[in-house]
Amino acid sequence: MAVRSTRHRRWLRKTTLGIAGLVGFLTVWQLIPTLGIVDAQYLPHVTDVAVRLVNELRDLAFWRRLGDTMTAWAIGLAIASSAAVALGTVVGLVPFLRRATHTTVEFLRPIPSVALIPLAVLMFGIRMQAALVIIVFASFWQVFVQVIYGVADIDAVARDTARSFGLTRRAQLRHLVLPTALPYLMTGLRLAAAVALILAITAEMVIGNPGLGRMIELSRSAGDAVGLYALVVVTGLLGLTINIVFRFIERRTLSWHQSIRGEEVL
């Protein structure tokens, strides 16, 4: 009972702090145009944006656009992470491959994937496939690098033990590699999910394939700051939701791991 009440108190404090931070942010935003620091024409009042946001939520066209964006996000993330897990495991387990690819990976990884947009459009036109190229390229590295490190991080004693117990390759993968690499993989996935969202929206803004990003560009080219910020708020909320969902998955799949268990005891 005592444990429960301290946990409850901590949860309450965390929530209160979170709400206070949000209210503070919204107040500052509201004050900036009200005090005339920035003209309300360029940075609209929070209240106007909120009204527009509610109107957008009632518009089916908005949900279709949201669906377009999230479809590109989900497909892109799925392709990127499955490819990264497969390749990352192989490369991470074979020291020769790891050394052979290291320089190439470090060269490719920092290339801003937005720079590939002209190539993607030339290959696929003004379609979601072009956006997928950008999304997959950017989020692939997030998972790939984490998987390589995760797979290589196997404890030497544990490995020797597994060997002396005569575990098969398959059993080693299941009982040795997977538990070691999983925390890395989950971190990689969470980062990749956020990066994929950023690039899904960027691609729509630049390429013009349907989605929230294109709506943002249309609002901008019409000088409609209220609509623009309403959509920007939506993208922020999306990012937040994705982060919460992935943290939840992370906590569930790693409930046995000390990084998660430790958090509860503290």
Partner 1 sequence: MKKTLAVGVIASLAIVLSGCTDSEATPTPGSTDSDLRPVRVAALPITETAALWGGIAAGIFERHGLAVEVLPAQGGAYAIPAMINGDIEFTVGQPFGPFRADLQDLGVVMIGNYASSYADGEDINAVVASAASGITRPAELAGRKVSVNSLGAAGDVTIMAAVEADGGDPSTIEFVEVPFPDVPAQLEAGNIDAGWVPEPFVTALVSRGDTLVVYPYQATIPGLPTLTTFTTTALIERDADLVADFAAAMKETLEWAQDPANETAVRQAIKDNLELPEAVADTVKLPEFGWELDRASMEELAELAVKYGVLDRMPNFDRLIQQH
Q: Which is nearer to partner 1, 220 or 251 (CB)?
A: 220
- What track of x and - describes contact with partner 1 for positions 221 through 260 (by CB under 8 A)? xxxx--x---------------------------------
Q: Which is nearer to partner 1, 48 or 257 (CB)?
A: 48
Our finding on whether 206 is near partner 1 (CB under 8 A) is yes
DSSP 45: -
Residues 6+ apart with CB under 8 A from 200: 69, 70, 72, 73, 76, 131, 135, 211, 213
CB of 64 to partner 1, least distance (A): 7
Q: How far apart are CA 142 and CA 29, in angstroms?
A: 33
Shortest CB 199 distance to partner 1, Å: 16
- Half-sphere exposure (Cβ direction) of 25: Cα atoms closer than 13 Å: 7
Question: Given the structure tokens 């993208």, which residue do they identify?
Answer: 235
The residues near 54 (Cβ < 8 Å, ≥ 6 apart) are: none
Coil, helix or strand for 102? helix
Distance from first CA to last CA of the chain, Å, rounded?
17
Question: Site for partner 1 (CB under 8 A): which residue of 105, 124, 239, 257?
Answer: 124
Count the neighbouring beta carbons within 10 Å of the beta carbon of residue 33.
Answer: 19
Is 41 or 47 the residue whose CB approaches partner 1 more closely?
41
Q: Which of 18, 21, 24, 118 binds partner 1 (CB under 8 A)?
A: 118
For partner 1, which residue of 125, 161, 174, 240 counts as binding (CB under 8 A)?
Answer: 125
According to the binding rule CB under 8 A, does residue 39 interact with partner 1? Answer: yes
- Asked whether 33 and 44 are in contact (CB, 8 A), the reply is yes
Burial class (CB in 10 A: 0-12, 13-18, 19+), 194: middle
Whole-number minimum distance, CB 243 to partner 1, in Å? 17
Regarding 214 and contact with partner 1 (CB under 8 A), the answer is yes
Length of the chain: 266
Least distance between partner 1 and beta carbon 220 (Å): 6
Stretch that binds partner 1, among 27-35, 37-45, 105-113, 245-253 (CB under 8 A): 37-45
Query: Applying CB under 8 A, which of residues 48, 191, 208, 233 lies at the interface with partner 1?
Result: 208
Residue 115 interacting with partner 1 (CB under 8 A): no
Please report, as ranges, the residues that interact with partner 1 according to CB under 8 A.
Answer: 39, 41-42, 54, 57-61, 64, 117-118, 121-127, 205-208, 214, 217-224, 227
